[in-house]
A and B are shown apart, each in its own frame.
Chain A
């Protein structure tokens, strides 16, 4: 906007210069307004551009905030955008951390295992303590009544024993600990075994006693019942004297009492026996639960005994029951008979009330009426009895049937009970047999395992023997080898010594011979050396002459031609190829015309320099007179230092004519003709043409000088070589 105003002002000024003063303010105003109009539109443009730029920036920033990938892209591509973003949005979100679960997973199982190990470790002393606790508990418990107290400790022992069985497999324990544990376990086992066996024996004994007592009681009851029945039968059948009868009846009563007593006793004994057997069974269960192998046969025997006792008891009980039922029948029969007798007596009494006393005493007193009535009564009675008999016969059938039925039922019941008991007994027997078989098999397995272990031990010893044999062989072989090596070493050592002796002798001989030869050669070479020295001297002299001839250069004139001196040099080194080559390396110009001295070249250089400056712009393409004019102007106007130290390496910027000339001047003033020539060789175009002659001369001079210096160096070296130290 300012510029536009300035332009307008300038235009107005120009107009003023042209002379239209009157229109100046108007035009100025117009200019202003036009400038103002253009300013307004310019302002609009500026505002629009600012808005766009601001909108773009804002949009970028907002999108970068939303999308971190976009933000990173922009930061990568646009420089300094990361700073902008940092100022406005804050630091970029961190990259998502990849979790490392593997390590954790690896660590955890280790930890867990270690923890479990630790717990197992801690458990072990507890278990050991428990075992120790259980062991003293056992003998204490054995003294008490069996069954409950030993059960839990033995069960715990069993549980711990199984755990203990697992423990040694998981973790290696020192041998002493293991043996101690095993010994403790054995001891515990033995204790329990002892206690169990003692228990078993005790209970077996007591139960056997009681069972025997019960069986005896039952037998006694049986005999009592049999006696009673017999007596009853006798009492009913016999018709002895009344006092005998009463004696019989009294005996019968006694027998009945005895029988009842015996039965009661038998019942009590049976109960006691049953109790004892139950206890025995409990103890056997406990013993079985303890799971100790040594107790097994005892347990089995106890079980067998128990079974037998139960069987015997049952048998005896059965017998007693049979006897009792028989006795019942007999008593029923006796009751019936008594009843019939009573009835008959009553009838007889009703018919013949007078006759009270016994029959036999009345034989003479009875009248015919009485007899007739008696007979009639008897006939009537017989009829009645016949009728009753018929009735009874008829009823008999029914009764028999019902009785059979009852009998069947009872028989069935008895059969069932018998079957059940027989089944029970069988089952028991089977179980016992199975247990016996199991015990046998176990024994067999134990024996087999023992044989296998023995076999394994045998195999192990064989293997050990083999291994030892192999090792022996190996060691023997090793020893042999070491022996051999040592022998070889000694041999080689001896041989070396002898060889050394020989060598030293030979060396001495050779040395002596060589010395002799050396002496001879030295003498010969002396002669040669003398000759050489003479020749070298000659050469040196000629080279010196050549060198001197170089100095004959005038200020602007070259030296005299070096032909003569060069010829002399060539003659003096006729047989030396190196010197010949050097001598012939002198340039032809120097030989024929001579060379300029350095001083003359230096003087000439200034002219060359001046001229080169003047024609610096001229080369193949630019060589018109106008260019010449320009070049002259440049030379006149350009100020460069007279002398400038040349750098070690020339850069392209240094290939400028003026710079090169200043470098060359510097080198010339310092006497470095070679460097000046090299620098001037870098000129291009017309300056190069101008400097060409000078360069050629400089080259000639340099060549000649180089060759001559080489020759003199060579001559010096040869001379030095041939001189002998005093």
Chain B
């Protein structure tokens, strides 16, 4: 059980690293290609990547508490 926790954190960090890096990359590309080398796309997409990573991490940690409901159709 305790290992699972550590594992989750590892996944989270790896995931956030990947996403932020990817975001940064995409941001750089976009800023160079379309936005005249402004900084804001970089920050924007890095932020997007961070946000996605954050969300994923949160989802991962929350997963035990999530309730999956099913809609029962009246027959």
Give the most central of B2, B54, B62, B64: most A CB within 10 Å: B2
Stretch at the interface among A80-88, A321-329, A646-654, A690-698: A690-698
Q: B5 an interface residue at 8 Å Cβ cutoff? A: yes
Tell me, rounded to whole Å, the shortest Cβ–Cβ distance linking A375 to chain B: 205
Stretch at the interface among A214-222, A377-385, A524-532, A621-629: A621-629
Tell me, rounded to whole Å, the shortest Cβ–Cβ distance linking A621 to chain B: 9
Provide 25 A-B residue pairs closer than 8 Å at the C-beta atoms, listed in order of the A residue: A608-B1, A608-B2, A611-B2, A611-B5, A615-B5, A620-B65, A623-B58, A623-B61, A623-B62, A623-B65, A624-B58, A624-B62, A625-B54, A625-B57, A625-B58, A625-B61, A689-B1, A689-B64, A690-B1, A690-B2, A690-B5, A692-B1, A693-B1, A693-B2, A694-B1
Q: How far is the CA of A6 from the CA of B22 in the complex (A)?
A: 58
Tell me, rounded to whole Å, the shortest Cβ–Cβ distance linking B15 to chain A: 12
Q: How far is the CA of A138 from the CA of B1 in the complex (A)?
A: 139
Tell me, rounded to whole Å, the shortest Cβ–Cβ distance linking B29 to chain A: 28
Interface flags for A628-652 (1: CB within 8 Å of B; 0: not) read 1000000000000000000000000
Q: A607 an interface residue at 8 Å Cβ cutoff? A: yes
Give the most central of B1, B58, B61: most A CB within 10 Å: B1
Q: How far is the CA of A595 from the CA of B57 in the complex (A)?
A: 35
Tell me, rounded to whole Å, the shortest Cβ–Cβ distance linking A149 to chain B: 138
The residues of B that contact A615 with a CB separation of less than 8 Å are 5
Q: How far is the CA of A689 from the CA of B65 in the complex (A)?
A: 10
Chain B contacts with A in 1-57, Cβ cutoff 8 A: 1-2, 5, 54, 57
The residues of B that contact A693 with a CB separation of less than 8 Å are 1-2
Main secondary structure of the interface of A (DSSP, over half): helix
Residues of chain B touching chain A, judged by Cβ–Cβ distance below 8 Å, are: 1-2, 5, 54, 57-58, 61-62, 64-65
Q: How far is the CA of A692 from the CA of B64 in the complex (A)?
A: 13
Give the 9 A-B CB pairs with smallest separation, nearest first: A693-B1, A620-B65, A623-B62, A625-B58, A607-B2, A611-B2, A624-B58, A623-B65, A625-B57
Chain A contacts with B in 260-318, Cβ cutoff 8 A: none
Main secondary structure of the interface of B (DSSP, over half): helix
Tell me, rounded to whole Å, the shortest Cβ–Cβ distance linking B9 to chain A: 10
Q: How far is the CA of A64 from the CA of B1 in the complex (A)?
A: 76
Q: How far is the CA of A608 from the CA of B2 in the complex (A)?
A: 7
Q: How far is the CA of A607 from the CA of B54 in the complex (A)?
A: 26
Tell me, rounded to whole Å, the shortest Cβ–Cβ distance linking A683 to chain B: 13
Whether A628 pairs with B2 at a CB distance below 8 angstroms is: no
Tell me, rounded to whole Å, the shortest Cβ–Cβ distance linking A636 to chain B: 16
Tell me, rounded to whole Å, the shortest Cβ–Cβ distance linking A14 to chain B: 37
Chain A contacts with B in 73-123, Cβ cutoff 8 A: none
Q: How far is the CA of A611 from the CA of B9 in the complex (A)?
A: 12
Q: How far is the CA of A625 from the CA of B57 in the complex (A)?
A: 8
Q: How far is the CA of A611 from the CA of B3 in the complex (A)?
A: 10
Residues of chain A touching chain B, judged by Cβ–Cβ distance below 8 Å, are: 607-608, 611, 615, 620, 623-625, 628, 689-694
Tell me, rounded to whole Å, the shortest Cβ–Cβ distance linking B11 to chain A: 13
Tell me, rounded to whole Å, the shortest Cβ–Cβ distance linking B48 to chain A: 17
Q: How far is the CA of A691 from the CA of B2 in the complex (A)?
A: 8
Tell me, rounded to whole Å, the shortest Cβ–Cβ distance linking B14 to chain A: 15
Chain B residue nearest in CB terms to A607 = B2
Q: How far is the CA of A264 from the CA of B42 in the complex (A)?
A: 193
Q: How far is the CA of A431 from the CA of B48 in the complex (A)?
A: 158
Q: How far is the CA of A693 from the CA of B61 in the complex (A)?
A: 18
Tell me, rounded to whole Å, the shortest Cβ–Cβ distance linking B35 to chain A: 30
Chain B residue nearest in CB terms to A692 = B1
Q: How far is the CA of A691 from the CA of B1 in the complex (A)?
A: 8
The residues of A that contact B2 with a CB separation of less than 8 Å are 607-608, 611, 690, 693
The residues of A that contact B65 with a CB separation of less than 8 Å are 620, 623
Q: How far is the CA of A470 from the CA of B68 in the complex (A)?
A: 105
Whether B61 pairs with A628 at a CB distance below 8 angstroms is: yes
Question: Assuming A624-B62, A693-B2, what are 7 further A-B pairs, CB within 8 angstroms?
Answer: A615-B5, A625-B57, A625-B61, A689-B64, A690-B2, A690-B5, A691-B1
Tell me, rounded to whole Å, the shortest Cβ–Cβ distance linking A657 to chain B: 15
The residues of B that contact A689 with a CB separation of less than 8 Å are 1, 64
Chain B residue nearest in CB terms to A694 = B1
Tell me, rounded to whole Å, the shortest Cβ–Cβ distance linking A145 to chain B: 145
The residues of B that contact A691 with a CB separation of less than 8 Å are 1
The residues of A that contact B57 with a CB separation of less than 8 Å are 625
The residues of A that contact B5 with a CB separation of less than 8 Å are 611, 615, 690
Tell me, rounded to whole Å, the shortest Cβ–Cβ distance linking A694 to chain B: 7
Q: How far is the CA of A693 from the CA of B5 in the complex (A)?
A: 13
The residues of B that contact A690 with a CB separation of less than 8 Å are 1-2, 5
Q: How far is the CA of A623 from the CA of B67 in the complex (A)?
A: 14
The residues of B that contact A608 with a CB separation of less than 8 Å are 1-2
Q: How far is the CA of A412 from the CA of B75 in the complex (A)?
A: 159
Q: How far is the CA of A508 from the CA of B10 in the complex (A)?
A: 91
Tell me, rounded to whole Å, the shortest Cβ–Cβ distance linking B68 to chain A: 14
Q: How far is the CA of A204 from the CA of B62 in the complex (A)?
A: 154
Tell me, rounded to whole Å, the shortest Cβ–Cβ distance linking B60 to chain A: 10
The residues of A that contact B54 with a CB separation of less than 8 Å are 625
Q: How far is the CA of A625 from the CA of B61 in the complex (A)?
A: 8
Q: How far is the CA of A692 from the CA of B5 in the complex (A)?
A: 13
Q: How far is the CA of A703 from the CA of B5 in the complex (A)?
A: 28
Chain B residue nearest in CB terms to A691 = B1
Q: How far is the CA of A628 from the CA of B1 in the complex (A)?
A: 17
Tell me, rounded to whole Å, the shortest Cβ–Cβ distance linking B6 to chain A: 9
